[in-house]
Amino acid sequence: MRNAAATALSAQAEPIAEPAPVTVAMGDGIGPEIMEACLRILEAAGASLAIDEIDIGESVYRAGHSAGITDSTWQSLRHNGVFYKAPITTPQGGGYKSLNVTVRKSLGLFANIRPCRAYPACIPTRHPAMDLVVVRENEEDLYAGIEHRQTDQVYQCLKLVSRPGCEKIIRYAFEYARAHGRRKVSCFTKDNIMKMTDGLFHEVFDQIAPEYPEIETDHWIIDIAAARLADTPEIFDVVVMPNLYGDILSDIAAQITGSVGIAPSANIGSNGAMFEAIHGSAPPLAGRDIANPSGLLLAGVMMLVHLRQPEVAERIHNAWLATIEQGIHTDDIHRAETSRHRVGTRGFADAVIERLGTEPETMTPVRYNADAAPVIAPEPLPQRVAAKTLVGVDVFVHATDTAEALAGTLRRNAGDILDLQMITNRGVKVWPDGLPETFCTDHWRCRFMPADSCPVNQSDVVALLASLTEAGVDFIKSEQLYDFDGKRGYSLGQGQ
Ligand code: NAD
């Protein structure tokens, strides 16, 4: 921690309230210069902040902390609850965990809010009417970071999706839409393929939507949704989606507004919030005074709204609009037809500061309702415990046999309780009645079900695994198959 004592950013204007404690990280690459520019603007606008500066990122990684953050730094984050963060560099190579993912998940920042708006009068874009907000789930999905190498040929990454996780993010999207007067919430999933995980996300969306009758809703399969978002983004308003899709699509959405350098992001949880630009540390631009600080500045505006300093947020946002409207542009958005002055990072901050108190003339000024409370992260509903019945087991086997030979070995050694029902390879059924054309790896999923539809228990599964091990079968994991309240809790797994 660089400053043990909090440093008050005293305002030129009368301070609005008790300074709000905020943890600040200057970041790596372009981070320090864009953060310095933003803090200058916030101070000049009258933000009332007590800043606690911390070190995270590349130097901390290189000092041997695999997540780029030290134990003592967590204390500042947990104590202050609000984190204003410049981008950091994740060193190349194995052994380094993503700091962003670690912070988001450790602090329970489940909602990632990324407004992506076009400013066609001053930043050229093919999508002048675009004004959408990506609400990305932040804690689940493939970002659990649970990966394994299982055989010579096959690696796996677990996709985990929970009902409380879906409820939190989907309710947040609706609450956000209501609080910001948005007319529609769209849900993007791939539930035609991932019927259980993405299917749950879609199901929860459909369950929650009727609680917001004034808001229009629709659901899109992610592939066509991505295509339409890149082509006609103006048809979308608020879009909510699982983690990986949200990560990718929010960058696309930001880029097509005109520059990835202008998009902010807020990460919101029940006990904290983190505000940052969506872009990275752009190492080639570092130290050259050419990076655009706008994404981080607009993240600061979102932070001020969250801290209930809406007047300051409004003053900065309108000064920023006036600056870009007057053609004062950093290199990334500088175009002969729309720009008047090319400025560096510092020059851009100076221009915004000069315009504090003014408003854009051709664009509509923003208004932040002084009475508006931040969107509250709703708690998920308590869930009833279902009746769970074990009905079989999938045994995953590492083998170089043919499907027929493997089936023979498994059937000879399975015992009396559980019968081999099918074998799939990468999800495609190869036994019984496989096709010779199917390419097979050394990773087989072998489904066992009770021989006579009789009840099965964990001891039967253990006995099966012991017997297969005895016979030299290299099983690498098992997944128990359950029914929940009589409803199948596993995919049929025939590649459909
Ligand atoms: P990047 O976002 O840093 O850069 C992508 C492109 O956008 C580059 O051409 C860059 O010059 C441009 N760009 C980005 N920000 C800009 C700005 N403010 N002004 C003008 N142009 C800008 O992505 P990358 O190159 O893939 O990643 C670089 C590093 O950043 C990596 O170490 C990565 O891990 C890290 N990263 C950090 C965060 C974060 O801290 N939130 C997010 C993404 C990437």
241 alpha carbon – ligand 1 mean position (Å): 23
Contact 274, 85 (CB under 8 A): yes
Angle (nearest 5°) at CA 216 between 212 and 217: 90
In this structure, the chain runs to a length of: 496
Number of domains in the chain: 3
Q: 87 in ligand 1 pocket by Cβ < 6 Å?
A: yes
461 part of a folded domain: yes
Residue 341: partners with Cβ closer than 8 Å, 6 or more residues away: 327, 328, 329, 347, 351
- Residue 185 contacts by C-beta under 8 Å, 6 or more apart in sequence? 173, 174, 177, 209, 212, 215, 216, 217, 237, 238, 239, 240
Residue 494 lies in a domain: no
**Gap between the Cα atoms of 451 and 270, Å rounded:** 49
Q: What is the CATH number of the domain that holds 450?
A: 3.30.70.1570
281 in contact with ligand 1, CB cutoff 6 A: yes
Q: Is residue 360 within 6 Å of ligand 1 at its C-beta?
A: no
Check whether residue 252 and residue 272 sit in a common domain.
no
Residues 6 or more apart whose Cβ sits within 8 Å of residue 153: 441, 442, 443
Q: How far is the CA of 259 from the centre of ligand 1 (A)?
A: 12
Q: Whose CA is nearest to atom 40 of ligand 1?
A: 87
Mark whether 355 and 442 lie in a shared domain.
no
Ligand 1 centroid from CA 279, angstroms: 5
Residue owning the nearest CA to atom 25 of ligand 1: 282
Ligand 1 touching residue 88 (CB < 6 A)? yes
* Contact call for residues 29 and 87 (beta carbons, < 8 A): yes
Largest CA distance in the chain: 83
> 387: which DSSP letter?
P
Q: Is 430 in the pocket of ligand 1 (CB under 6 A)?
A: no
Distance 27 CA to ligand 1 centre (A): 12
CA of 285 to the centre of ligand 1 (A): 9
Q: Are residues 130 and 74 in the same domain?
A: no
Q: Which of 199, 223, 256 is the last residue of a domain?
A: 256
Same domain? For 207 and 277 the reply is: no
CB atoms under 10 Å from CB of 328, counted, come to 22
> What is the whole-number distance in angstroms between the Cα of residue 280 and the centre of ligand 1?
3
Question: Is 250 found in the same domain as 284?
Answer: no
Q: Is 282 in the pocket of ligand 1 (CB under 6 A)?
A: yes
Q: Is 276 in the pocket of ligand 1 (CB under 6 A)?
A: yes
CB-based contact 112:103 (threshold 8 Å): no
Q: Is residue 6 part of a domain?
A: yes
- 172: domain range? 126-256
Instruction: Determine the pLDDT at residue 274.
Output: 96
143 Cα to the center of ligand 1, angstroms? 20
CATH number at residue 265: 3.40.718.10
Q: 165 CA to middle of ligand 1, Å?
A: 28
For ligand 1, atom 26: residue with the closest CA: 280
Same domain, 176 and 274: no
Which residue, by CA, sits nearest to atom 38 of ligand 1? 280
In a domain, 381, yes or no: no
Q: Kindly report the protein residue whose alpha carbon is nearest to atom 36 of ligand 1.
A: 280
* Any domain includes 303: yes
Domain end (from 324, 340, 372): 372
What is the layout of strands, in order, in the sheet containing 238-241? 7-9, 49-54, 20-25, 82-85, 273-277, 264-268, 111-117, 131-137, 238-241, 184-189, 216-221
From 235, 256, 277, the end of a domain falls on 256
| Residue 463 domain flag | yes
455 CA → ligand 1 middle, Å: 55
* 52 within ligand 1 shell (Cβ under 6 A): no
Instruction: Tell me, yes or no, whether 223 and 279 share the same domain.
Output: no
Shared domain check, 264 and 250: no
Q: Is 100 in the pocket of ligand 1 (CB under 6 A)?
A: yes
Cis peptide leading into 432, omega within 30 of 0? yes
Tens digit of pLDDT at every position of the chain (496 positions): 334 333 344 334 444 568 999 999 999 999 999 999 999 999 999 999 999 999 998 889 988 888 889 888 888 899 999 999 999 998 887 778 888 888 888 888 999 999 999 998 888 899 999 999 999 999 999 988 899 999 999 999 999 999 999 999 999 999 999 989 999 999 999 999 999 999 999 999 999 999 999 999 999 999 999 999 999 999 999 999 999 999 999 999 999 998 888 999 999 998 899 999 999 999 999 999 999 999 999 999 999 999 999 999 999 999 999 999 999 999 999 988 889 999 999 999 999 999 999 999 999 999 988 777 778 767 888 888 999 999 999 999 999 999 999 999 999 999 989 999 999 999 999 999 999 899 999 999 999 999 887 889 999 999 999 999 999 999 999 999 999 999 999 998 654 3
If asked whether residues 60 and 160 sit together in one domain, one would say: no
Q: Tell me, what DSSP letter sits at residue 262?
A: G
Q: Are residues 428 and 478 in the same domain?
A: yes
The reply to whether 132 and 250 lie within a common domain is: yes
Q: Return phi, psi of residue 415, to 5°.
A: 85, -170
Within-domain flag for 382: no
The verdict on 89 and 60 lying in the same domain is yes
378 within domain boundaries: no
**Using a 6 Å cutoff on CB, does residue 31 contact ligand 1?**
no
Distance 181 CA to ligand 1 centre (A): 32
Pocket test for ligand 1, best of 260, 294, 297, 348 (most atoms within 8 A of CB): 260
pLDDT score of 2? 37
- The answer to whether the CB of 260 is under 6 A from ligand 1 is yes
